[in-house]
Amino acid sequence: MKIANLKITSQGFQFVDKQGKSLSLNVAIGKIINRFFSYFLDFELMLLNYVGHIPIHFLRHSIYRLSGLQLHPSSTIHTGARFFNPRRIKIGEDTIIGYRAFLDGRAPLTIGSHVDIASEVMIYNSEHDVHSTDMKAIEEPVKIEDYVFIGPRVIIMPGVTVGKGAVIAGGAVVTKDVPPGSIVGGVPAKVIGERRLRKFNYHLGRPRLFQ
């Protein structure tokens, strides 16, 4: 007889993992604690999803900061944003993040200053190891340096660094580091040009109200 992760044998109770492999008591207790932490995080993320639709920047950002997200006072996240573990996300000054962005925080995610991120951009820093027998997760940090522009519906994959002043064209899937000042596009993203601007000192300005 087997109930979820607990197997009942003639020798008594035995903990098993999702693959049916036996677990020691200490390992099983650690997994149980992690499972309850995951439940709490899932509940928190559900609440943040609702918070993301509050059409008042100050109130929305205040709650984000209470959740552990490191957001500079001069930066803005527009409505509809979704997160995984906001405590590992850091956003610099004068940065604007567009409508319905997805920001992964399962590994460190660092977004610099004066970064313009368009609507529905997805930034991931965790993925499954498709060569592993148990499809284990691989987590790698993502870094977006200053003065980067990211077009709408871009997907940035784990382990990527986007160099200062780079531009990512809309719809691109970024799987490798992006050189500073370059323009990349396509699936997978490749260098398609260079930005003529060499010195960056602009400010993005006021975000859209009620969004």
d(CA 154, CA 175): 11
Q: Where would I find the beta strands (DSSP E) of 93-176?
A: 96-97, 102-104, 109-111, 116-117, 122-123, 126-128, 137-139, 142-144, 149-150, 155-156, 161-162, 167-168, 173-174
Between CA 167 and CA 150 the distance in angstroms is 6
Establish whether 57 is a catalytic residue. Answer: no
Residue 189 tokens, joined = 């993203």
Distance CA 110, CA 183 (A): 20
Tally Cβ neighbours within 10 Å of residue 108. 15
Query: CA quadruple 174, 64, 50, 44: dihedral positive or negative?
Result: positive
Catalytic residue among 114, 128, 131, 203: 128
The length of the chain is 211
What CA–CA distance (Å, rounded) separates 198 from 178? 16
**Bridge partner list, 109:** 89, 142
Catalytic residues: 128
